[in-house]
Amino acid sequence: MTSLIEVPDVEPVAVAPKRKSGQGGGLGRYIVVRFFLIIPTIFILVTLVFFLMRVIGDPITAAQGGRLPPDVLAQRIHDAGYDRPIFVQYFEYLGQVVTGNFGTTITDRRPVVEMLSTFGAATLELSINALIVALAVGIPLGLLAAQRRDRATDAFLRFFAILCYATPVFFSGLLLKLTFSVWLGWLPVAGRTSTRTELAMSSLAAPSGIYWLDALRSGNFAAFGDVVSHAVLPAIALGFLTAGVFLRLVRTNVIGTLGKDYVEAGRSRGVSEFRLVTKHAYKPALIPIITVMGLQIALLLGGAVLTETTFEWKGLGYQLVQYLNARDFVAVQGIVMLLAVIVAITNFIVDVVAALIDPRVRY
């Protein structure tokens, strides 16, 4: 009973410091709330993809219909449970997804989770490479465009940014292939490695699937060179797609901060233009850039599907197309789901980072 009486006394005391240090508690709450917002997003996508895929028919008929005699087909459908009511299947699928079981692919009978981790590593590698290219190209050029605002350099760079966006990955990929692989003969046409390197790396214990990492670990520099030379063109093709977005983003935001009073104050104190742009105006401009960078992950993943097909880069996107053509919808469902989860989680991380940087974001 005493504790109950004490509570009202303790309560305001407990609240007061909370308000004072304030932001810490607010941020924690924001992160938790934001985290639980991922669940409906993923749930809706799971539902959407499940029903869309079932509209076409059951996965076994789709994959093997016409190739098997009708009675064998019916038996298989029955064994897999696809002849039950769709809602029973749906809830069973939900249960499986929650426990991390995405089923087995129909065409090559691999567990979907294993398939995802194998090809996911390749897509991850491609995305990281592309992101590096995009940042290395987009940010300096964006700063340059902001500094030369409304002059010829700026006009050219803005046009370049739109051109980056307007060129489909497979077309820039084609041009790169023609130029650097066919005419100049500098770089390989397609694939992730040559066969020899693949053999050299296959002896490695517990490969990460990220080839340049594996090549480094094997200590074979020829293999590393080979991996890098294969990675250059896909990374450029996909990277330039996003580089255009970054360029424009950096440009607009830096122009915004360049107009601020403190920049003017810096200028009057004799800070060099270069330093004004790269130090004073650039850092505050980073916040919106980080936010939008996270949103680019969807663009990057969509582009990865096209890039992987263009360069026969055997990642999730390449595999997705293969499975789609083979009508293996269990595998397709798994890949689409994984990509959806990645996008949802990235958006969550971006929101948290944005909240960490800028307290005003928290609700």
Partner 1 sequence: MSTATFSGPKKSFLSGLPVISHLNKSVGLQRGMLITGLVLTGFFLLCTILAPFIAPYGYSQLSDQSGSFPAQQAPSSKHLLGTTVGGYDVLSRVLWGSQTAVTVIVVAVAMSIFLGVALGLLSGYYGGWLDRVLVVIADAIYAFPSLLLAIVMSIVISHGQSSFWGGILACAFSITVVFVPQYFRVIRAETIRLKAEPFVESAMVLGASSMRIIGRHIFKNATRTLPLMFTLNASESILTLAGLGFLGFGIEPSSAAEWGFDLNKAMADASSGIWWTGVFPGIAIVLTVLGLTLVGESINDLNDPRLRGRKRAGGKPSRSAAAVGQGGNTGAGTGSAAGNGTREAGNA
Contact criterion met (CB below 8 Å) for 68 and 76: yes
DSSP sequence for 39-52: HHHHHHHHHHHHHH
The first and second tokens of residue 127, run together, are 């995305």
Give min distance, CB of 336 to partner 1, in A.
6
Give min distance, CB of 352 to partner 1, in A.
16
Name the DSSP letter for residue 361: G
Q: How distant is the alpha carbon of residue 119 from its chain centre? A: 14
**Coil, strand or helix at 104:** strand
Give min distance, CB of 150 to partner 1, in A.
6
Give min distance, CB of 219 to partner 1, in A.
32
Q: 14-18 long-range CB contacts below 8 Å, 24 or more apart?
A: none
Give min distance, CB of 140 to partner 1, in A.
18
* Closest C-alpha among 54, 127, 112 to residue 337: 112
Comparing CB distances to partner 1, the nearer of 18 and 283 is: 283
Give min distance, CB of 45 to partner 1, in A.
6
Position of tokens 């909370």?
18
Comparing CB distances to partner 1, the nearer of 200 and 301 is: 301
Rounded Cα distance between 36 and 72, Å, is 45
AA identity, residue 29: R
Give min distance, CB of 320 to partner 1, in A.
8
Comparing CB distances to partner 1, the nearer of 215 and 258 is: 258
Comparing CB distances to partner 1, the nearer of 76 and 158 is: 158
State the residues that interact with partner 1 by CB under 8 A.
40-41, 44-45, 48-49, 52-53, 55-56, 150, 154-155, 158-159, 162-163, 165-168, 170-171, 174-175, 177-178, 181-183, 189-190, 249, 252-253, 255-256, 259-260, 288, 292, 298-299, 301-303, 305-306, 309-310, 320-321, 324-325, 327, 332, 336, 339-340, 343-344, 347
Contact criterion met (CB below 8 Å) for 112 and 316: no
Comparing CB distances to partner 1, the nearer of 154 and 198 is: 154
Comparing CB distances to partner 1, the nearer of 124 and 216 is: 124
Comparing CB distances to partner 1, the nearer of 77 and 304 is: 304
Name the DSSP letter for residue 337: H
What are the two backbone dihedrals, phi and then psi, of residue 164, each rounded to the nearest 5 degrees?
Answer: -60, -40
Strand partners, 104: 111
